[in-house]
Amino acid sequence: MSRLSLRHATSGDAERLFHLMQFYYFEASAWSGEEVRPDGLFDCDRRDVEASLRDDPQWARLLFVDEALAGFVLVDRVERDGHHYPELADLFVLPKYRRQGLAAYVVSTLLRPGEGQWLLAVFRGDVAAHAYWLRTLPRLGLPHVALADDDPTFHLYLVGDPASP
């Protein structure tokens, strides 16, 4: 059995997180239509990754399988309807490690019962990811509520139970 771990990324991880994010944008370009910049990279700047890691130590986590880098997850703080939520913003698993339960591991590690709700935003164009979440959230026993369907970019869900008093 593989050993999975999720670790906070530090400023020393900026380069490898930046590289993983390029793979993420490459894959997303199939449905987003995003073009590469003249320098051959997608619209993700290494300096922005470094600044985000420096300014918000909770923002990025790296996913490992038996000490091999396997992906990342980005967590943002968002405000919606007067409430603040952590948002499962971006989750990427390298193709070699897919269909092994890594995304479910990440979600079950981050979304702890009784610790409040999370916002899950799934790009409308990412049909595969949307189908994944609709299958996986019930399988993980995570309550979820679809929010108003008026966002042109995302399917939005509140996941988990409200925080215990």
Domains and CATH numbers, the chain: 4-159 (3.40.630.30)
**pLDDT at residue number 28:** 84
**pLDDT at residue number 1:** 59
**pLDDT at residue number 163:** 63
**pLDDT at residue number 162:** 74
**pLDDT at residue number 37:** 86
Choose among 59, 105, 104, 63: nearest CA to 86: 59
The one-digit pLDDT tens for each residue of the chain (165 residues) are 579 999 999 999 999 999 999 998 898 888 888 888 888 888 888 899 999 999 988 899 999 999 999 999 999 999 888 889 999 889 999 999 998 889 889 988 988 777 788 999 888 889 988 999 999 989 988 888 888 877 888 899 999 877 655
Choose among 143, 141, 18: nearest CA to 72: 18
**pLDDT at residue number 17:** 96
Between CA 33 and CA 31 the distance in angstroms is 6
Task: Specify the pTM.
Answer: 0.86
**pLDDT at residue number 33:** 82
- 14-32 and 46-55 helices cross at what angle (nearest 10)? 120
**pLDDT at residue number 92:** 93
